[in-house]
Amino acid sequence: MKNDLKQALSKVRDFEDPKISLEQYITPPALAADLVFTAYMQGDIESKKVADLGTGTGILGIGAELIDGEVVAVEKDDSALELAKENAEDLGANIDFLQSDVEEFGKSVDTVVMNPPFSVHSDTGLDFWEKALEVGDAVYGISPRGARDSIKSLVRSSNHKLEGVQEYEIGLPPSYGFHTEESRETPVDLIITKRST
For the chain, how many residues are written?
197
How are the residues of the chain apportioned to helix, strand and coil, as percentages rounded to the nearest 5? Answer: 40, 25, 35
Minimum distance of ligand SAH from residue 153's CB (angstroms):
21
Q: Which is nearer to ligand SAH, 74 or 138 (CB)?
A: 74
With CA atoms as reference, report the closest residue to 114 among 134, 96, 135, 141: 141
Minimum distance of ligand SAH from residue 118's CB (angstroms): 9
Nearest to 176 by CA among 48, 6, 21: 21
Backbone φ and ψ of 10, nearest 5°: -70, -10
Backbone angles phi, psi at 162, to 5 degrees: -70, 125
Nearer to ligand SAH, 113 or 138 (CB): 113
Toward ligand SAH, which CB reaches closer, 143 or 156? Answer: 143
Closest CA to 5 of 27, 37, 50, 28: 37
Q: How far apart are CA 84 and CA 56, in angstroms?
A: 6
- Closer by beta carbon to ligand SAH, 122 or else 196: 122
Shortest Cβ 197–ligand SAH spacing (Å)? 27
For ligand SAH, which is the closer residue by CB, 5 or 80? 80
Query: Minimum Å distance from CB 196 to ligand SAH?
Result: 26
**Closest residue to ligand SAH, based on beta-carbon distance:** 56
Question: CB 26 → ligand SAH: shortest distance, Å?
Answer: 4
Give the residue with the Cβ less far from ligand SAH, 70 or 77: 77
CB of 128 to ligand SAH, least distance (A): 7
Q: Which residues bind ligand SAH (CB under 6 A)?
A: 22-27, 54-57, 59-60, 74-77, 80, 101-102, 115-117, 124
**Coil, strand or helix at 195:** strand
Q: Smallest Cα–Cα separation from 104: which of 134, 63, 60?
A: 134
